[in-house]
Amino acid sequence: MHIGPHELPNNVFVAPMAGVTDRPYRRLCKALGAGYAVSEMAASNPRLWASEKTARRLNHDGERAPVAVQLAGADPQMLAEAARYNADRGAQIIDINMGCPAKKVCNVACGSALLKDVAAVARILEAVVAAVEVPVTLKFRTGWDLSNRNAVDVARLAEASGIAALTLHGRTRACGYAGHAEYETIRAVKQAVRIPVIANGDIDTPEKARFVLAATGADAVMIGRAAQGRPWIFRETVHFLATGSHLPAPRVAEVRSLLLDHLDDHYRFYGDSGVRTARKHIIWYTRALAGGREFCAHMNAIDSSAEQARAVDRFFASHGERSERLVYAPTLH
């Protein structure tokens, strides 16, 4: 699959998730088979670009190409300026967020709130595409609510505006993450446009990825919450799509090594604040294992990165021989 001139190694992608898909996590997912990763959402307001939080979100040092930056905003010229700013600093793809359902985003007419105003969508897309030479993509939802689903209209408008690819989360803004993804709407969008369409929503197993690709005709799938604490889902899915067979579950030694390496990269990226931000990742990795709940409760009381890493090491050492394979409960991911 291609996005503009960029040929991607496979069609299994990691979804941009606020507070999750930072540089260490994107690098890990790509190393474990994700064919593409987009940064977590960054504000288009230039007053925020110098902030530590936004600077981190725009940091792609050492990340495998293509570098993709997701931007959020409601002002076409501000978004265009932000796109130019990022392209000048190495972004190879600009992704526009019209899918975030969070109230704090929608309350300022950003994210999926933009789907209420198709004319505003057109102005934004045209301004950003005209501002940069790199491909521009769009991530959006099926509509504002179940009575106002306009994904096909938005998709056609996006294609006419020069958007290079579409990612569609199969829910409305009002649905949030409840209910089931509307794969029939993703299929309708795929049939309505000629540009690549990426299906997102409720893809939590290799079998589900195969089902969604077949049901929607989409060019790729994007996995989000199911990869939290389980980043090897990308290699599992790529392998299953190619062969129809399953890779064995990871061994204790590998998961320990993956998590400790992830933590090391995380601490170096965030500095002292990394202890707090690492907790959610540790919890995702361990909560479905024997003794996981008790360990997670203990983890929240640790304030030292060195002690946090030692505690993780001890936890995995308690799970028997390191050659054994771990069994995760998929309902918890």
Known active-site residue 29: no
Bridge-based pairing state of the strands 93-98 and 68-72: parallel
Active-site entry in 100, 106, 110, 296: 100
Burial 236-257 (b: 16+ CB within 10 A, else e): bbbbbbeeeeeeeebebeebbe
**How many whole angstroms separate alpha carbon 86 and alpha carbon 107?**
25
3-state secondary structure of 144: strand
87: Cα separation from own chain's centroid: 20
Enumerate the H helices of the chain as residue ranges: 23-31, 52-57, 76-88, 103-106, 118-131, 151-161, 183-192, 206-216, 233-243, 252-270, 274-286, 292-299, 305-317
Q: Which residue numbers are catalytic?
A: 100
